[in-house]
Amino acid sequence: MDSRGIDYTCLTLIIIGAVNWGLIGFFKFDLVAFLFGDMSWLSRIVYGLVGVAGLYMLSTYGRIGKMGTE
């Protein structure tokens, strides 16, 4: 099964989340809250999608291990 589209989408969301956490850690600046409002319904959707993408990408550990055996 080819899941590259989902993988790239989730990876993009995770990068967005990582950049946001870096901005929070270094500059106390929440980019998502700045763009969409502090805990507005839209920012909550973005945070939720980043979290789901992170959980989905846990499956890459299993797929990476199988790459060498195929």
pLDDT in tens, 33-48: 999 999 999 999 999 9
For residues 17 and 23, is the Cβ–Cβ distance under 8 A?
Answer: no
Q: Please check the confidence at residue 70 and state whether its pLDDT lies above 70.
A: no
How many domains, the chain?
1
> pTM of the predicted model, to two decimals?
0.81
What is the residue type of 21? W
Cα 23-17-22 angle, rounded to 5 deg: 20
pLDDT score recorded for residue 2: 72
Q: What domain range is 57 assigned to?
A: 4-67
Dihedral of CA atoms 53, 9, 32, 39 in degrees, nearest 10, equals -50
pLDDT tens-digit map of 10-29: 999 999 999 999 999 999 99
Q: Please check the confidence at residue 61 and state whether its pLDDT lies above 70.
A: yes
